[in-house]
C-alpha cells in the first residue's frame, strides 16, 4: 500500500471513530432527556418518550452499522 493510500485509510478510520464518539454522546444526551421527561404531564411524557425511543433506536442502529463496517 502506498503512503497516500495508508493516509487515506487512516483518515477514514479517524472519521469513523469520530462518528462513533458523536453517536455515543448523542445516546447519552437522549437518555438524559428521557429521564428529565419523567417530570412532564403523562400525555406529554408519553409522546416525548416515544420520540426519544425512536431516536435512541436510530442511534443504536447507526452505531451497529459503524461497528460492522469497521470489522
- Alpha-carbon distance 55 to 49, whole Å? 10
* pTM, to two decimals: 0.69
pLDDT score for 12:
62
pLDDT under 50: residue ranges of the chain: 1
- Alpha-carbon distance 56 to 42, whole Å? 20
DSSP state, residue 40:
S
pLDDT score for 41:
84
- Alpha-carbon distance 71 to 46, whole Å? 37
- Alpha-carbon distance 26 to 24, whole Å? 5
Amino acid at each position: 500500500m502506498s503512503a497516500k493510500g495508508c493516509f487515506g485509510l487512516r483518515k477514514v478510520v479517524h472519521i469513523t471513530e469520530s462518528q462513533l464518539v458523536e453517536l455515543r454522546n448523542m445516546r447519552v444526551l437522549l437518555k438524559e432527556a428521557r429521564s428529565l421527561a419523567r417530570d412532564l404531564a403523562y400525555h406529554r411524557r408519553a409522546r416525548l418518550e416515544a420520540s426519544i425511543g425512536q431516536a435512541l433506536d436510530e442511534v443504536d442502529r447507526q452505531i451497529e452499522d459503524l461497528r460492522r463496517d469497521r470489522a
